[in-house]
Chains A and B, each alone.
Chain A
Amino acid sequence: MSVLAAASEVAWTAGSPLRGFVIVLLCALAAIGTVWALPGRRDPGWRVFGGTLLLVAGGILAALLTRWALASSGQKPGLSYVYFWVFAAVALAGSVRVITHPKPVYSALYFVLTTVATAGLFLLMWAEFMAAALVLIYAGAIVVTYVFVIMLAAEASGSDGGSGASAGLPDHDACARAPRLAPIVGFLTLGLLLFLIFERPPAALSKNPWGTASDGIATGHTQQLGVFLFRYHFVNIQLAGLLLTLAMIGAIMIARKRIVQSESSSRQVALAESPYDVEIPVVLGPPPKIEDNPHTIPVVGTMNPRQKAYPEN
């Protein structure tokens, strides 16, 4: 197995860029910064201060890593190294803004920024197909769906408007739920992960990525990936397509409107008994016939089932 052969070449050395106490200190600093940077009803200056603390922690981590990498390679920083830090900084700053911005639409747009920067990181690893697929799937499909739901689900704004960017937002957007517990849990996890990554560092690995999988048929990485997928993961590919189809059918089944069949043929709209304070409209009557005429498609979500999606005159 070439995986085992490649993994056996990994030499574990003792040199580490980050000692344990440095990891603990950086995680504590970043956790304190995150507590202040999460949205809440406090002075906006505190949030800026928390963001600054996060920036300082990330800068120290980047400086330590850079010093270690340059010392171990013994060269000046190459262009790809600069590119790596630019993409990593944009991705991490974008993801911090995803969780700290009080407005959901802005969070989704920062997620797009994170996705694009991650695609740049993939390009640095010569994984150009995954970079394109990431931008297409995440930025093109998933985030657009989320933004549509955010915009369609118009909510009543909170009674007490905060200050600054959180003014006029509903309470569950303007205030974080567990602003102290969540950073502790998150940075505990991160500290353990960083400890495992840096206290057992593998030496510089293969200098030629994707070099071992030479096939003779395909030349580019994307073609090699396709050959690999359809040779070794053929059933998994089919199962992935089946999973996507099932998810689509399930989403349609979940989100569709309930239509109750009644004996009388006359259509009427009744309000069902709801245990909550919102009345759920239920359409009584025969289900609408399936037609391909777009002028007869009823609008889902209105109280009037006769309302047309496109008025005929």
Chain B
Amino acid sequence: MTSTLDQVGLQHYLAVGAIMFAIGLIGFISRRNLILMFLCTELMFQGVVINLVAFGGFVGFFAGLAFTIFVVVLAGAVASLAVGLIVLLFRHKATLDADAWRELRG
């Protein structure tokens, strides 16, 4: 097998994962649509997944991939529950605006 990792170092992948995590964080704070907020959560999950796969690939052990599988399973569970909650909230107020539930802040 020819190596593809001669020049692409571990830090390249870590930087891409960190940037993707930061973009997801910005979106989660700044967007007001409930569905977009959960999409940004998935974006943060993807940044973490890039980190896990990169560590697994560069250290040469399969624990990275195993943890990636569990993270993706968790993301799927979160997505299904989030969609259920969003449908429930939309049925109450007929809007996807997160600020419509402002009174929950107390």
Contact A146 B4 (CB under 8 A): no
Choose one: B15, B22, B59; the contact of A3 (CB below 8 Å): B59
Interface residues on B, range: 35 or more
Within 8 A of A (CB), among B79-106: 79-81, 83-88, 90-99
How many of A's residues come within 8 Å of B, CB to CB?
A: 110
In the complex, A270 has a CB within 8 A of chain B: no
The stretch that binds B, out of A45-53, A96-104, A288-296, A302-310, is A96-104
Q: How far is the CA of A137 from the CA of B72 in the complex (A)?
A: 8
Is A177 an interface position by the 8 A CB rule? yes
Q: Which 4 pairs between the two chains have the least Cβ-Cβ distance?
A: A99-B27, A247-B77, A251-B84, A186-B26
B10 to chain A, nearest CB (A): 6
Q: Which residues of A from 146 to 164 have beta carbons under 8 Å from B?
A: 146, 149-150, 153, 155-156
* A interface residues, Cβ below 8 angstroms from B: 2-3, 6-7, 17, 34, 38, 61, 65, 69-70, 73, 75, 77-78, 80-81, 84, 88, 91-92, 95-96, 98-99, 104, 107-108, 111, 114-115, 118, 121-122, 124-127, 129-130, 133-134, 137-138, 141-143, 145-146, 149-150, 153, 155-156, 170-173, 175-179, 181-183, 185-187, 189-190, 193-194, 197-198, 201-202, 204-213, 224-225, 228-229, 232-233, 236, 240, 243-244, 246-248, 250-255, 274, 276, 278, 280
Rounded to whole Å, the gap between the CB of B1 and the closest CB of chain A is 7
Q: Chain B residues near A206 (CB, 8 Å)?
A: 5, 58-60
